[in-house]
A and B are shown apart, each in its own frame.
Chain A
Amino acid sequence: MEVNRRDFLKIMGIGGATAAMVGCSAQPPETLIPYVVPPEEIIPGEATWYTTVCRECPAGCGMLVKTMEGRAIKVEGNPDHPVNRGRLCARGQASVQGLYNPDRIKRPMWKGTDGTWHPIAWEEGEKLLAAQLAGLKGQGERIACVTPLLTGSLDQLIETWLKTLGGGRRLRYEAVSHESLQQANRATFGSANIPYHDLEQAELILAFGADFLETWLSPVEHARQFASMRTYREGRMGRFAYIGPRLSLTAANADEWISIRPGTESFVALGMIQATIAEGLTISLPANEEAALRELVASFSPREVAEHAGISVDKIRALAHAFARAHPSVAIADGKTSNGTETCVAVNLLNYVVGNIGRTIHFGPAAAIGQASTYAEMRQLLQAMEAGEISLLLLAGVNPVFTLPEGDRFRKALERIPFVVSFASFPDETVNAAHLVLPDQTFLEGWGDYEPREGVRGLQQPAMRPLYDTRAIGDVLISVAKRIGLQKELPWDNFYGYLRDQWKDVHRKLRSSEEFETFWAGMLQHGGLFQIVPSPPVRLNVEGLPRRFPPPAFVEKTDGLILIPYASPVFYDGRTANRPWLQELPDALTQVVWDSWLEIHPADAKALGVSPGEVLRLESSFGRVDMPAHVSDGVRPGTVAASIGQGHTAYGRYAEGRGANPIPLLSPEPEATSGGFPWIATRVKITRTGRRHPLVSTMGSDRPHDREIMQTIRLATLQSGRHPEKHPHLLQIYPEHPHPKHRWGMAIDLNACIGCGACVTACYAENNIPVVGKEQVGKGREMSWIRIQRVNEGTPDHPEHRFLPMLCQHCDNAPCEPVCPVYATYHNPEGLNVQVYNRCVGTRYCSNNCPYKVRRFNFFTAEWPEPLHLQLNPDVTVRSMGVMEKCTFCVQRIQAGKLSAKAEGRPVRDGEIVPACAQTCPTRAIIFGDLKDSDSEVARLSKNPRRYHVLEHLNTQPAITYLKKITRGPVEG
C-alpha cells in the first residue's frame, strides 16, 4: 500500500484524535472501550445536543446542552421552550462553570469529631443518614428539609419521603422571593398567585422598583417581551418609566428614571389612581368598587404624594394620564420595603382601574416562585432549631448562612442540631456547619423536571455522566428509604424511575393515543411539555383591601443613609459567585469586575468626604460591613446601594474573600402582613476607614466625548421620516474586496440592547476565552472578544446610560491588516477579518491601529484549573502566550453551517449560522447573516434608516451596522 504524506497525516490525525477523545471523555471506566464500536450517539468531532432546564434561578428557562465526546461544553436556550425561546442570560451561559467548577465537592464527606472533613464511601454516607433516620422513627416532625424552590418530581419525592418518615418540616427557600406581591394579590384579587405579566402587549410599562430585566421573576422572558414592545413599528414604540430610588440596569433602559424616596412607591401609585379617577380616565367600574377606591385614595392627592416621594406633582399627573391612556399599560412592583405589600396592592389597584388585569396581567398561569416558602417560615425554622425541636436537618442547594440576615444566628443554631446533612455541590458557608455532605449532581448531570409556571413542564435530562463521585439527591432519598425498610412506600429503584412514573401520570392525563415511550422520547427531544393554561378572570376583592397605607419604616430613624440591597444581575443571591466568567463580566452600570461596592451619591460622598475606592464602614444595629465606595449618580441622595451575592467566606477560590455581603446589616424582622423579607428597611451609619480598595473596571471613560460612537435618534424625528443621514465623503484608492460568495455581516440594534452581558459570557464559553482575574483586568488585559460599552449621555441629575456591544467590526478596509508585518491578519474572501494565531509574532501593531480597540493580546499563558479545561470547545484553538486574538464571528460555526449546507446540496439558509453572542441575546439585538444575500435579515437591517457605522469617518467600512437607539424622553401626559 502506498501512503503519501497527506494520507499519513490523515491516519495519524484520526488515530491521535480518537485516542485523545477516548482519554478525555467523561465515560465511566467500565465502558471505556476503544471507538472500534463507538458508543451510540457519540461521533467524535460532532456535537450531541440534550435538552434540559436551567436551574440557576427560579425562572426555569429551557436549555440545550452541547456535548462533544461525552462532555458538556456549551449551553444554549431551547428555542421550543416558551419561557426563554432559545435565549439565555449570562448566569445560564455560565452554568457549565458550575458543572466544571474546580471547587466542587467531589465525594461524600463526613465531619469527624476533630472538625475536619473525611472522605467516605457512598455506602457509608447513606448508612450514616439511614441510621439517623432509623433513630428518629416516630419522631418524623423532628426532621426538617430545606431545598431551593423545586417543583415537579423531585419536589413530590421529597414531600412523599418526608411524609413516609412521619412528616417533617419542608421549606422551599429562595432568598429572592415575592411574598409581598403574593400577599397583595391575595388582598386585592383573592389569589396568592404570582401572575403572568405580558409586557409585550403593553404600550407603557411602569416599573415600581421591579428589576425585571435582571432578577425579577423571569428576566430572560421579560427581556424578550420588553424588546418586542420597544420595537419601532408603524410609527409606534412602547414606552417605559422606572420609579424607584436606584438606577438599576432595568432603570437605565427606561425612557425615564423617576427617582423617588424609598418606600413611597405605594403613594405614587395611589396618587396616580386619585388623578385617574378624578379625571374620569378609569375603565367603567362597578359602583361599590369605585366608591371603595375613591375612599381608599382620598388622602393621597397627587400634591401630597409628590411631596412624600420627592418628585413633582406634574410628574404624577403626567404618569397617571399616560398610564390610563396607553392601551394597554402595565405596572409592576417589587415590594421590598416594610410596606412592600401595600406597594404591590397600590400597583395592583392602579392596574385594575385602567383595565390592565386580564390584558397585560394574567392570574394564570401562576409562576412557580409563588410556591416558595416565606421568609417568616424560614425564621420559624430558625427558632425551632434554636429551641432544639429539630434533630435532623437536610439542606440541599441552599445557603442560608450566607443569604439570611441572621446568617450567623443560623450557623449557631445549626450547631445545636445533632445531625445536619448537606447535599451541596459546592463548599459554601452552610456546608461548613454540616456533619455529613452527600454531594448532589449539578443539574447538567442529573434527571429532573421543573415547572416555572403552570403548563410549562420542562424536562431535565443528564447531558453527561457525573463528573465526580456524586449522586442525585432523589437517588439518595430513595436508597436511604430502602435501608430503613420503606421500600413499600418508595418502591422505585432510583429517581429516574420515579420521574418516569410521574411523567406517566402526565401522559395519562393528556389522554393521548401515543405510546408512553414515544411520548417520553418526544419530551426528551423537545425539552418538556408546554401547554397553554387558561387565565381565569379575577375581580377586585373590595373587602380584602388594606384600610391604611403606612409610610415605610426604617429601623434606627437616625441620620444614617438608607441601604438598598439588590440581587446581583450576575450572582443573583450569591449562588453563581463561584463562576469565573461571571466574576469577570463587567457589571453593566459600573463596569466593575471581581468585586462588590457601595453606590453612594456624590452629594453624600462629599458630605462624608469620601472619594471613590475608599473603604467605608457600614454599621447598623445588626452588623458591620466594610465596603469600597463607588460614587455614582445612580442612587438617590440619602440612600446607598449594594448588591448581594459577593462577600463569601467560603464557596471556592473564585468567590471566597471577594467583596462584601451587606445582608448581615439588614433588619431581620419580617414584613408583618406577608411574612416576606423587607430588603429596604435599614439605615446604616457610614464612617470612613481611611483604607483604600480600588475597584477595577474595564471602562476608560463613560462620557461620549463627541465621538458619536453611540448614536441615538429621537422618536419624533424617526416618525417624521425626515432624518438626513450623515455620511462623510470618503475616498478609496484600493479596489473593494470582491467577496465572491458570502460577505458575513452583523446588525446590532441598539434600541434592543439592554446591556445584560449574556453575549459576553456566551462568547467566553464558545471561544475558549480565558479569565485573567481582577489584577490583570486592572491592567486592561481582559480577553473578552465582545464587550458592552456603557456611555452616559446625560447630566449628573439625569444620567442617561446607553449600551453598545463592541466587537471586531470585520472591516472591509481594516486598519489592522496592512500594519501586520507577517500577514497574521488578513481579509478573507467571505469578508471576515481573520487572525492566524500560528503566524502571529505579537508586534501588537494591529491592536494599536484598531480604532475599535477590540483586539486582545495574550499577555500570559492562559490557565484553566482542572476540570474547567473540560469545557473547552474542541472546535476553537486555545491561543498561546504572545499572540493576538479577537472576535472571529464564530468562524467555526460559519464553517459548520457551510458544511452542512454543502452536504445537503443547498445554499446556506439565512439564520442558519448564528454566532454565540447573537444566539443567546435575550432581546435579539444582534443579527448575523450574509450581506451578499439581499433577502437576509442582516442585509435588510443594514438598510434600515437608523443604520450607522461606528467611526464611519475613518473609512474602515465595517461589516457591522448599528441601528441607532430610539429616544423619546420623559413620559408626558
Chain B
Amino acid sequence: MSQLTYGQVDRDILRAMEAPGRRYYIVFLLNFLVLAWGAFAWRYQIVHGMGVSGLMHPVMWGVYITNFVFWVGIAHSGTLISAILYLFRVRWRASVYRTAEAVTVFALFTAALFPLIHLGRPWFFYWLLPYRQVGGLWVNFRSPLVWDVFAVMTYMIISMLFFFTGLVPDVAVVRNRTSGLRHRLYAFLAQGWQGTDRQWRHYKAAYIFLAALATPLVISVHSVVSWDFAQSIVPGWHSTIFAPYFVAGAIHSGLAMVLTLLIPLRRIFRLDAYLTQSHLEHLAKLIILTGLIVGYAYIVETYIAWYSNNVPEWQRFLYQVTGEYAIPFWIMILFNSLIPLLFFVKRIRTSTPWLFAIAILINIGMWCERFVIIVTGLAHEYDPYSWGLYFPTWVDISITLGSFAWFFFWFLLFAKFLPVVSIVEVKEELPPPMKAITVEG
C-alpha cells in the first residue's frame, strides 16, 4: 500500500463507481427477478394467510425468525469492524470497514422486514411501535418482542448515522468529480464538506463519539434478540448463556459475510492493493476466535442440558442431535466450530479460495444454527402430544431467497454509488505526499 499515492487511491476506488458494464446489469436484473419473486410470495402470504407457509402448531416460528436472527447477526460485523476496531486503533480496519458497515446497514434493512413478514396481520405492524394507541394503550414493555423493536431500531439508526458520517469526506471527493443530478446527491451526502481543519476536528469527534455509541450496541442488540428466546420457557430456548452465545454467533456470521462479499469485490473492482491478503487473514484470525467461542457455547449448552437434570431440556437435546432436524444440527457443529479451525493453518487462511469457501460454509452453518435453535425447541416442547414437525414451503423458501436478493439489491447499488473502500482512511495510512526536494549543491 505504501507505494500508492493519493491520486492513485482516488482513481482506483472511484473506478468502481464508473458506469456499470453489461455484466453488472445482468447480475442486477437476475437479482431483481429473485427479489420480485420473493415479493410475490409475500403478497401471496398476505392475501391467503400464514397457512401458505410451513408454520404450524407447535412450530409457530420458522425460517422467518431464523432469517431475522440471521440478518441481525450479519449486521454485527460492520459495527465490530468499524467501531470497535476503530476504538482500538487497529490499522488494517481502514480498507474493510466501509463494506462491513454497508453490510450492517443492508442486513438490518433485511432483518427489519422479517418481523413484518411473520406477523399474522402485518397490516397492523404499527401496533408494535411504542406510542400511545387508541384507548391509551401502550405496547407491553414486558414482551421481548417490544425490546426487539427498540434494539433493532436503535441499532439501525446508529449504524446508518455512523455509515453516513464516515462517508462524508469520501462523498465530498466524489462530489467534486461529478455533475448534474449525481452531483446534487453527493453534495447532499457530503453535507458541505470542504475538508477544513475545523470540519476535520468536528468530524473526528463525531466519529469517535458514534463509534463509542455503537460499540455497546454490538453486545446489546443481539443480546436482546437472544432474549426473544431466552425469556421464554421453551426447552432449548430458556438459557442464560443465550446473550453471549448469540453475540459471538452474530459476529462469527458477520465476519463470514464480510469475507464472502469482500473477496469478490476485491476481484471485480481490482482492489488487491487496498484489500490485501493480510486484511483477509486478519478477518480469518478473528473468525478463529469467534468460532471457538461459538463452539464453546455449543458445549456449554449441552452440558447445561445434561447437568440441569431437566427432563424436557435433555430430551430436546437428544432430539436435536438425533431427530428429524439432526442434519442442520450437525451442519451447524461442523461448519461453525470445526471447519473454521482450519484457519489455524496459515496456508489455508492465506488462500483466497479456501477463505471464500469456508466463509460460505460459515454462513450456511450460522443459518442452520438459528434454524436448529428455533425449530427444534418448538417441535419438541413440554407436551409430547403436541410435538410436531415443521418444513418450509415454497413460500418460506421464496421469501428467504427474496431476502437475500433484497440484501444484494442494496449492496449492488452501494457498489456503484458509494466508495466501497474508505478513500480518506486509506490515505491516512499512506505517507503524505511531499513536494520533491532537490538538494542543490
Q: Do B381 and A853 touch (CB < 8 A)?
A: yes
Check: A35 CB closer than 8 A to any chain B CB: no
Check: B383 CB closer than 8 A to any chain A CB: yes
Binds A, one of B78-86, B134-142, B199-207, B211-219: B134-142
Contacts of A706 in B (CB 8 A): 311, 315
CA distance A299 to B145 in the complex (A): 77
Q: Mark A760-804, 1 if CB is under 8 A from B, else 0.
A: 000000000000000010011110000101110000000000000
Q: Do B58 and A780 touch (CB < 8 A)?
A: yes
Q: Do B385 and A791 touch (CB < 8 A)?
A: yes
CA distance A70 to B24 in the complex (A): 69
Q: Do A806 and B128 touch (CB < 8 A)?
A: no
Check: B15 CB closer than 8 A to any chain A CB: no
8 Å CB contact of A819 from B48, B232, B382: B232
Contact flag A841-B49 (CB < 8 Å), given A705-B384, A821-B143, A822-B139: no
Q: Do B312 and A858 touch (CB < 8 A)?
A: no
Write the nearest CB–CB distance from B193 to chain A, whole angstroms.
Answer: 41
8 Å CB contact of B145 from A806, A819, A839, A856: A819
CA distance A883 to B121 in the complex (A): 7
In this complex, what residue of B is CB-closest to A791?
B385
Contact flag A703-B60 (CB < 8 Å), given A819-B232, A843-B120: no
Q: Do A823 and B56 touch (CB < 8 A)?
A: no
Q: Do B384 and A707 touch (CB < 8 A)?
A: yes
Binds B, one of A492-500, A623-631, A844-852, A960-968: A844-852
Contacts of A311 in B (CB 8 A): none
Contact residues, A693-725 vs B (CB, 8 A)? 699-707, 709
Check: A818 CB closer than 8 A to any chain B CB: yes
Q: Do B56 and A841 touch (CB < 8 A)?
A: no
Write the nearest CB–CB distance from A578 to chain B, whole angstroms.
Answer: 25
CA distance A257 to B233 in the complex (A): 39
Q: Do A781 and B140 touch (CB < 8 A)?
A: no
CA distance A704 to B382 in the complex (A): 11
Write the nearest CB–CB distance from A950 to chain B, whole angstroms.
Answer: 8
CA distance A847 to B140 in the complex (A): 17
Q: Do A848 and B385 touch (CB < 8 A)?
A: no
Write the nearest CB–CB distance from B360 to chain A, whole angstroms.
Answer: 31
Q: Do A847 and B120 touch (CB < 8 A)?
A: no
Contacts of A857 in B (CB 8 A): 50, 57, 60, 120
Contact flag A821-B121 (CB < 8 Å), given A701-B387, A853-B381, A954-B233: no
Q: Do A859 and B232 touch (CB < 8 A)?
A: no
8 Å CB contact of A842 from B50, B58, B387: B50
Check: B244 CB closer than 8 A to any chain A CB: no
For B, the interface residue count at a CB cutoff of 8 angstroms equals 47
Check: B125 CB closer than 8 A to any chain A CB: yes
CA distance A787 to B234 in the complex (A): 21
CA distance A822 to B137 in the complex (A): 9
Check: B378 CB closer than 8 A to any chain A CB: yes
Contacts of B59 in A (CB 8 A): 780
In this complex, what residue of B is CB-closest to A790?
B385
Contact flag A856-B57 (CB < 8 Å), given A701-B385, A842-B121, A954-B233: yes
Q: Do B311 and A847 touch (CB < 8 A)?
A: no
Write the nearest CB–CB distance from B142 to chain A, whole angstroms.
Answer: 4
Q: Do B142 and A818 touch (CB < 8 A)?
A: yes
Most buried by B among A822, A848, A882: A848
In this complex, what residue of B is CB-closest to A776?
B51
Check: B273 CB closer than 8 A to any chain A CB: no
Contacts of B383 in A (CB 8 A): 700, 707, 709, 789, 806, 851-853, 951
CA distance A781 to B231 in the complex (A): 26
Contacts of A845 in B (CB 8 A): 60-61, 143, 145, 228, 232
Q: Do A822 and B140 touch (CB < 8 A)?
A: yes
Check: B386 CB closer than 8 A to any chain A CB: yes
In this complex, what residue of A is CB-closest to B60?
A844
Contacts of A819 in B (CB 8 A): 142-145, 231-232
CA distance A705 to B311 in the complex (A): 8
Check: A820 CB closer than 8 A to any chain B CB: yes
8 Å CB contact of B119 from A707, A782, A849, A882: A882
Q: Do A853 and B143 touch (CB < 8 A)?
A: no
Q: Do B137 and A815 touch (CB < 8 A)?
A: no
In this complex, what residue of A is CB-closest to B148?
A821
CA distance A799 to B145 in the complex (A): 44
> Which size bracket describes the interface of A in this complex?
35 or more
Contacts of B146 in A (CB 8 A): 821
Q: Mark A89-117, 1 if CB is under 8 A from B, else 0.
A: 00000000000000000000000000000
Chain A, interface SS category: loop
Contact flag A705-B128 (CB < 8 Å), given A780-B56, A781-B51: no
CA distance A701 to B48 in the complex (A): 31
Q: Mark B140-174, 1 if CB is under 8 A from A, else 0.
A: 10111110010000000000000000000000000
Write the nearest CB–CB distance from B26 to chain A, whole angstroms.
Answer: 39
Contact residues, A817-846 vs B (CB, 8 A)? 818-823, 839-845
Write the nearest CB–CB distance from A956 to chain B, whole angstroms.
Answer: 9
Q: Do B233 and A704 touch (CB < 8 A)?
A: no
Contacts of A853 in B (CB 8 A): 57-58, 381-383, 385-386
In this complex, what residue of B is CB-closest to A851?
B382
CA distance A842 to B115 in the complex (A): 11
Write the nearest CB–CB distance from B418 to chain A, whole angstroms.
Answer: 35
CA distance A736 to B149 in the complex (A): 29
Contact flag A780-B388 (CB < 8 Å), given A823-B140, A848-B378: yes
Contacts of A789 in B (CB 8 A): 383, 385
Contact flag A822-B51 (CB < 8 Å), given A700-B385, A700-B386: no
Check: B297 CB closer than 8 A to any chain A CB: no
8 Å CB contact of B56 from A781, A815, A842, A883: A781
Check: B118 CB closer than 8 A to any chain A CB: yes
Contact flag A851-B381 (CB < 8 Å), given A843-B118, A859-B49: yes
CA distance A657 to B339 in the complex (A): 53
Q: Do B60 and A882 touch (CB < 8 A)?
A: no
8 Å CB contact of B127 from A781, A841, A859, A883: A841
Write the nearest CB–CB distance from B109 to chain A, whole angstroms.
Answer: 21
Check: B35 CB closer than 8 A to any chain A CB: no
Q: Do B120 and A884 touch (CB < 8 A)?
A: yes
| Chain A contact residues, CB within 8 Å of chain B | 699-707, 709, 776, 779-782, 787, 789-791, 806, 815, 818-823, 839-845, 847-849, 851-853, 856-861, 880-884, 951, 954
Sample of 20 further A-B pairs with CB below 8 A, known A702-B384, A815-B233: A700-B58, A701-B384, A704-B384, A705-B311, A707-B311, A789-B385, A818-B143, A821-B143, A822-B139, A841-B128, A842-B119, A844-B60, A844-B61, A844-B118, A845-B228, A851-B382, A851-B383, A853-B385, A880-B121, A882-B50
| Chain B contact residues, CB within 8 Å of chain A | 48-51, 54-61, 115, 118-121, 124-125, 127-128, 137, 139-140, 142-146, 149, 228, 231-234, 311-312, 315, 378, 381-388
11 CB-based A-B contacts, threshold 8 Å: A706-B315, A707-B383, A815-B233, A821-B143, A823-B137, A845-B228, A848-B61, A849-B233, A858-B49, A861-B49, A882-B119
